[in-house]
């Protein structure tokens, strides 16, 4: 239970914060108060300025204008160490830990206890264990961090912050890669810290999580704060309206009528030992087929096998009735198959490269003359694709790492659309992007199907699968165990098939 509002003095008060990158304003006149005993949600579309605001308070960035007060005193941060000295810790989506050091070493990195001129290892392990115990987590302080889950590595980061007496925690998309049980454990720790008087800021895309854990919600749009609400006095629909600045009914594409044509993609007996077995599926031109199932069911592996990344032990892949001979990505691309991978940052884009270089990676051979890439032609192609997908950017020459997650995903889509594919394999196409970008991706999928493309879409977002698919295939333990038409599919039926339960109707 949160400490009552009363006349609490903010632990952090930010006034008029402003930040620009490359001459473009990403945060304008932002005001925020973080109160003791409260979890404060920060929400907004990708690129709205949420992470920038957290990084200004956490000392990662220096504001161009504005002030930050901690416990009523003005502070000036030039690096994260300055913020932690004031009791502020930033917990990232991808934990910043040293994998080859132990848990205890990570907690006390740079602050190891000494005795007689040497590191007191026993004291460090003992103190680390005590801090972890205060969080209610069971992690061996002597264990190497490399073997820990993301959730446990986040707990190590939190333990490091608390060992430095942090009372203000900024949590940036910390649930994005966690399982439901790990999220539940994290929320338990957050409530415990809140009830002990800490102030927490929680950035997230999943509004159901925001409403579950947060006491207050601040909404950002286009770099500005557009609203603040007490969670108990608002609704998801109101927060969504504030986020996107338009009525909810305009967000999602209406039913797009499209003709279903001949079979464009088919697999026969596709098998890879230990991953999936006897996969027989068909996707027709103009059809969106959803591939549902629990994490670990083998869906991603099937998509990678169709594209030729994973080698198969048996079976074949046919595109337009013709087999892909050598089970290689180059042959799949030549037949008109494209794969938008699950992990865009590691498998979809090259982060240091520019937007135009990423957008044309899949057709670089077509843009070459006498073995040399024609940069002017590549830029023209990229410009056309990013305009088509309404990618928000300063310039196509900027590094793709500077874009928001949703805009990075659009560039990945642009890269593969530039190949003019007949079959599109989409693996978690809207993971980690906001509601507005998700709606745009949904509209694009509908348009591609209407134009005659065959789409196989893997998604763990069941409402997304039900909304977008003409047919749904369900995988469990490496096999396709059920098929539903759009009319037959329900949440209950799909979940029952994915978990092996008998559904009584």
Q: What is the mean pLDDT of residues 239-251?
A: 68
The DSSP string of 27-90 is EEEEEEEE-TTEEEEEE-STTSSHHHHHHHHTTSS--SEEEEEETTEEE--SSHHHHHHTTEEE
pLDDT category at 504 given cuts 50, 70, 90 is low
| Contacts by residues 118-124 (CB-CB < 8 Å, ≥ 24 positions apart) | none
pLDDT at 247 over 70: no
3-state SS, 55-69, equals HHHCCCCCCCEEEEE
The residue-averaged pLDDT of 122-150 equals 88
230 and 135 in a single domain? The answer is yes
Mean pLDDT over the full length of the chain = 87
Same-domain status, 185 and 77: yes
Which residue range is the domain that position 353 belongs to? Answer: 345-420
Q: Are residues 190 and 113 in the same domain?
A: yes
Count how many domains the chain has. 3
Residues 355 and 487 in one domain: no
Average pLDDT rounded to a whole number, residues 360-364: 86
pLDDT tens, 258-302?
678 999 999 999 999 989 999 999 999 999 999 998 777 899 999
> Does 332 share its domain with 459?
yes
Please identify, among 195, 222, 249, the residue that sits at the C-terminal boundary of a domain. Answer: 249
Average pLDDT of the segment spanning 233-254: 70
Q: What is the pLDDT of residue 392?
A: 82
Inside any domain, residue 1: no
Is 5 within the bounds of a domain?
no
Residues 231, 245: Cα–Cα separation, whole Å: 19
Q: Is residue 187 part of a domain?
A: yes
Do 310 and 162 belong together in one domain? no
- Let me know if residue 477 belongs to a domain: yes
Question: What's the mean pLDDT in 382-403?
Answer: 86
pLDDT for res 254: 42
Asked if residue 311 lies in contact with residue 272, where contact means CB atoms within 8 angstroms, the answer is yes
Say if residue 473's pLDDT is above 70.
yes
Query: Is residue 249 predicted with pLDDT exceeding 60?
Result: no
Ranges 178-187, 188-197, 372-381, most confident: 188-197
In this prediction, residues 314-338 reach a mean pLDDT of 91
Q: Where does a domain end: 420, 442, 476? A: 420
Residue-wise pLDDT for 450-461, tens only, equals: 999 999 999 887
- Identify the pLDDT of residue 438: 80
């Amino acid at each position: 239970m949160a400490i009552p509002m009363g006349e609490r003095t903010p632990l952090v008060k930010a006034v008029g914060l402003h930040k620009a990158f490359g001459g473009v304003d990403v945060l304008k006149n932002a005001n925020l108060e973080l109160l003791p005993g409260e979890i404060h949600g920060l929400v907004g579309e990708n690129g709205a300025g949420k992470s920038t605001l957290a990084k200004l308070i956490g000392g990662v960035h220096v504001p161009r204008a504005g002030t930050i007060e901690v416990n009523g005193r003005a502070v000036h941060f030039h690096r994260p160490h300055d913020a932690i000295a004031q009791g502020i810790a930033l917990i990232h989506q991808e934990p910043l830990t040293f994998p080859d050091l132990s848990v205890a070493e990570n907690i006390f990195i740079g602050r190891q206890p000494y005795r007689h001129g040497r590191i007191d290892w026993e004291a460090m392990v003992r103190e680390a264990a005590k801090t972890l115990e205060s969080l209610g987590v069971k992690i061996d302080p002597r264990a190497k961090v490399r073997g820990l889950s993301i959730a446990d590595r986040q707990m190590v980061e939190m333990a490091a912050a608390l060992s430095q007496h942090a009372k203000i925690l900024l949590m940036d998309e910390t649930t994005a890669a966690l399982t439901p049980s790990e999220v539940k454990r994290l929320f338990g720790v957050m409530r415990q810290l809140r009830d002990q008087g800490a102030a927490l800021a929680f950035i997230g895309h999943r509004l159901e999580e925001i409403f579950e854990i947060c006491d207050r919600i601040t909404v950002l749009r286009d770099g500005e704060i557009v609203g603040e609400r007490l969670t108990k006095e608002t609704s998801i629909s109101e927060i969504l309206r504030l986020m996107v600045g338009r009525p909810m009914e305009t967000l999602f594409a209406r039913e797009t009528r499209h003709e279903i044509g001949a079979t464009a993609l088919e697999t026969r007996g596709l098998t890879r030992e230990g991953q999936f077995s006897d996969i027989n599926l068909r996707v027709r031109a103009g059809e969106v087929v959803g591939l549902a199932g629990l994490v670990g069911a083998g869906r991603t592996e099937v998509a990678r096998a169709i594209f030729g990344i994973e080698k198969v032990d048996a079976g074949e892949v046919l595109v337009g009735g013709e087999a892909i001979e050598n089970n290689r990505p180059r042959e799949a691309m030549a037949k008109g198959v494209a794969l938008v991978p699950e992990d865009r940052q590691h498998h979809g884009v090259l982060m240091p490269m520019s937007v135009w270089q990423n957008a044309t990676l899949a057709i670089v051979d077509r843009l070459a003359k006498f073995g040399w890439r024609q940069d002017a032609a590549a830029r023209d192609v990229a410009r056309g694709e990013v305009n088509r997908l309404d990618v928000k950017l300063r310039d196509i020459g900027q590094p793709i790492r500077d874009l928001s997650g949703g805009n990075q995903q659009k560039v990945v889509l642009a890269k593969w659309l530039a190949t003019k594919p007949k079959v599109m394999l989409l693996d978690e196409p809207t993971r980690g992007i906001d509601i507005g970008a998700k709606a745009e991706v949904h509209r694009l999928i509908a348009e591609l199907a209407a134009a005659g493309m065959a789409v196989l879409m893997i998604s763990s977002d069941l409402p997304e699968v039900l909304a977008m698919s003409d047919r749904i295939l369900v995988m469990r333990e490496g096999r396709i165990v059920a098929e539903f038409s759009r009319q037959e599919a329900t949440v209950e039926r799909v979940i029952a098939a994915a978990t092996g339960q008998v559904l009584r109707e």
